[in-house]
Amino acid sequence: MPNMASPAVPPAPRSTRRRWLHGLAIAGLVAALAAASLYMYADQLVARQLRPATIALLEDRFDSTVELKRLTVRLSPSLTVRGEGLTLRHRGRTDIPPLIAIKAFTIEATPRQLWERRLDRVRLEGLEIVIPPRRGADMPLVTVPSVVSSDAIVEGRPNVLIHELITEQSRLTIMSKREGKDPRMFELRRIRFEDFHFGEPVAFEATLSNPTPAGEIAAVGTFGPWSADNPSLTPITGSFLFDADLATIKGIGGSLHAEGTFTGPLEYIRTSGKTHTKDFYLSSGGTKFPLDVDYDAIVDGTNGDTILERVDGRLGPSQIHAKGAIVKVEKTGGRRITLDTTTRDGRLEDFVKLTTRVIESPMTGTVNVTAKLDIPPGDKEVLDRLDLEGRFDVGSAHFTSAAVQDRIDELSRRGQGRPTDQSIDDVASNLRGTFRLKDARMDLRSLTFRVEGAEVRLAGSYDVPSERLNFAGELRLQARASRTQTGWKSIVLRAFDPLLDAKGAGTVLPISITGTRKDPKFGADLKKAVLH
């Protein structure tokens, strides 16, 4: 049989093999160059895709027009996204500052986290937030709006989860509801959000500086969900610690420590707390006292106005109760304090030492006071600005000076017609009156001083800085004039008994008190009494 085997294929020429190898090498080089080029420009490609997605997300979430000047992505050694010049204008408004302005931000995440919008850490630099007044802000907000459920907020809308969001040296500005009025500013030293989510309340911790009184505030709580329609109605709740130097308020001093809770939207925050000042003092006085206060209040975050619903204070052992308001005054930059106060069973000596520079109070006793306090803003010290008007009642008072108390004991003996009865000793005094302290001057419209057997009725003034006295009134004694004396004086005064007699009293004598607190001068106008 003939040989049917296929003939052998002759080997390719050497030149053909070289061309094939050269083509393969060129293709590999092109692929390598393409891969290198892709790697070199991958960050730019990612940035081009990420920038519009970021803007769309923020515009949707904050109901704002968003501008992002620059966004860069670095893939090596780890994925890092950095943005610069981010601004959000609420509803596109250009007549007010941007709702949010951020100089720069940095995002740390893996590519998968970035794709799934679940970021590990975001840092903000130069954050400024400006909260505009809500629509219908001229209408009072009397109830805290209910929080919309997170499901209703996030349904069908893009979202993002940030495990840790940190910002330092930021500023929060809340615009006033009143046109033309200065906004309320807060310098935020550091804020840290944990598991930040647009549609749910977010846990936060913050430290900020308080201008007046100068001090530091530390707060923890929850913030949100964000109210896109009315940012000022975004809810916030939490607790705080506040340490301040009261000496930064002219006229008072002491180291304040406060702690409490807060809740509500930004423009209607209810807060309750306690304060302790271990060394409270007034610049007009010389003695420091512990001051403790419990309070409930409502704070308008747009202007800082505060309604004090309940203030229960304790100055040493003295109890003070008050309610009122602290309201910003137009064109002054300051605040007016108005309070309705009551003091029950207070220690008279404590209030004397607090307001004057005496080392020892001239009188001790229990005091009850009902008063209205008004402190307008200004550069003067508190004592020169305050207007305090009310009535007081001092019971079971004794004078600390033995010489003065001896005179009071003698007045009681003579008033009872028993001038030599030494059993009448250490007599208690009672004072009652109406007063007004304004421009560092105490005006007493009516002052009644009583001891057993005698009563003094006075009206006049006391100048606090100079301690000068100027009072006039009458002394009313239970006994007739002749019975207040012994020996020949008693016999002589019998002729005057009918002249000095008055309805309801055995003797009525016009008197005056002048001089200074340290050197008072007492006068009796016998001529006026006889001619009356």
Q: What is the pLDDT of residues 491-530, one digit of tens each?
A: 877 877 777 777 667 888 888 888 887 788 877 665 555 4
Q: Count of domains in the chain?
A: 2
Residue 244 reports pLDDT greater than 80: yes
Which range, of 58-62, 206-210, 449-453, averages the lowest pLDDT?
58-62
Instruction: Determine the Cα–Cα distance for residues 469 and 490; give it in Å rounded to an integer.
Output: 32
- Whether residue 101 is contained in a domain is answered as yes
Of 22-26, 354-358, 430-434, which gets the smallest average pLDDT? Answer: 22-26
Compute the mean pLDDT over every residue in the chain, rounded to the nearest whole number. Answer: 78
Task: For residue 305, tell me if it sits in a domain.
Answer: no
Mean pLDDT throughout 284-306? 83
**Cα–Cα distance between 273 and 298 in angstroms, integer?**
12
How far apart are alpha carbons 272 and 307 in whole angstroms? 12
Confidence of residue 323 (pLDDT cuts 50, 70, 90): very high
Classify residue 518: in a domain, yes or no.
yes
Residue 181 lies in a domain: no
224: left (phi over 0), alpha (psi -120 to 50) or beta: left
Q: Which of 102, 126, 150 is the last residue of a domain?
A: 126
> Rounded to 5 degrees, what are φ and ψ at 217?
-115, 135
Q: Is residue 53 part of a domain?
A: yes
Identify the H or E element spanning 27: helix 14-62
Per-residue pLDDT at 92: 67
Predicted confidence (pLDDT) per residue in 79-125, tens digit:
788 889 988 887 767 777 888 888 998 888 777 877 777 888 889 89
Q: Answer whether residue 192 shows pLDDT above 50.
A: yes
Residue 532 pLDDT: 52
**Which of 108, 126, 144 corresponds to the end of one domain?**
126
Q: Which of 126, 143, 160 is the last residue of a domain?
A: 126
Q: Percentage of the chain with pLDDT > 70?
A: 81
Sign of the CA dihedral with 442 first, then 445, 450, and 455 last = positive
- 23 occurs within a structural domain: no
Greatest mean pLDDT range, 206-210, 242-246, 505-509: 242-246
- Residue-number span of the structural domain to which 419 is assigned: 401-531
How far apart, in Å, are the Cα atoms of 418 and each of 412, 430, 453, 493, 510?
8, 20, 10, 15, 22
501 lies in some domain: yes
- Residue 11: pLDDT band (50, 70, 90) is low
Q: Name the region of 153 (left: φ>0; alpha: ψ -120 to 50; beta: rest).
A: alpha
Residue 454 pLDDT > 60, yes or no?
yes
Confidence of residue 155 (pLDDT cuts 50, 70, 90): very low
- How far out from the chain centre does Cα 362 lie? 36
Q: Please give the helix or strand (H or E) that residue 123 lies within, else none.
A: strand 118-125
Q: How far apart are CA 239 and CA 448, in angstroms?
A: 49
d(CA 316, CA 73): 62
- The band of 34, judged by pLDDT with boundaries at 50, 70 and 90, is very low
Instruction: Estimate the share of the chain in helix, then strand, then coil, as percent rounded to the nearest 5.
Output: 20, 50, 30
pLDDT value at residue 345: 87
Q: Against a cut of 0.75, is the pTM above it?
A: no
In a domain, 65, yes or no: yes
Q: Tokens 């033309």 correspond to what residue?
A: 180
